[in-house]
Amino acid sequence: MRIISGLHKGKRLTAPKKLPVRPTTDMAKEALFNILNNRYYFDELVVIDLFAGTGNISYEFASRGTERISAVDADYGCVKFITDTSESLEMGISVFKNDVFTYLEKTREKATIIFADPPYDLPLESFEKIPELVFNNELLTENGLLIIEHSSHMDLSHLDNFVEKRKYGGSIFSFFSVPN
């Protein structure tokens, strides 16, 4: 995996092979960050990265100037890799070893962007629970976005607060926002 832009542009990171992850492809990540770059100033964002895995998305935000990033993953190996990488690159990412659903039920941190990249084999009900918890617990700021990455075989457009979806290869980003 590589960091596409910002302070660490071009930096390649190699995660241990034993991690249970499926990192967002560079093509999909670049497309996503082009969308976000047209909507936000990265240095003003508060980001929560759910099912953070290798930390791929967190590093991209940090490289672009985001200082308040929380990465959440239940796997010890993933948490250790993100912690070690964040420290070595002096990114200051806050890393939490926690079940994402428990984290969403208990946290009171509000974010501008909440990015979730759950394992594609989770049942639809688990994907549906993410926006439910985010919006019921009011975890997004005004003009905030919840972005869920999922397989192209799944459709989340029936859920409340759904705004749009973008397809990149076999992945889809579904966007949700606070109603005005």
DSSP 29-53: HHHHHHHHHTT--GGG-EEEEET-T
pLDDT tens by residue, 126-139:
999 999 999 999 99
61 lies in a domain? yes
The single-letter DSSP state of residue 89 is T
Q: Please state the pTM of the whole predicted model.
A: 0.95
What pLDDT, on the 0 to 100 scale, is given for residue 16? Answer: 82
170 lies in a domain? yes
What pLDDT, on the 0 to 100 scale, is given for residue 88? Answer: 95
What band does 15 get if pLDDT is binned at 50, 70 and 90? confident
Nearest Cα neighbor of 105 from 146, 70, 133, 125 is 133
7 lies in a domain? no
Are the beta carbons of 111 and 141 closer than 8 angstroms?
yes
Distance CA 132, CA 63 (A): 30
Query: What is the CATH classification number for the domain harbouring 165?
Result: 3.40.50.150
Among the residue ranges 25-29, 84-88, 131-135, the one predicted with the least confidence is 25-29
- Domain of 86 in residue numbering reads as 26-177
4 lies in a domain? no
> What are 19's two structure tokens?
């991690």
Domains held by the chain: number = 1
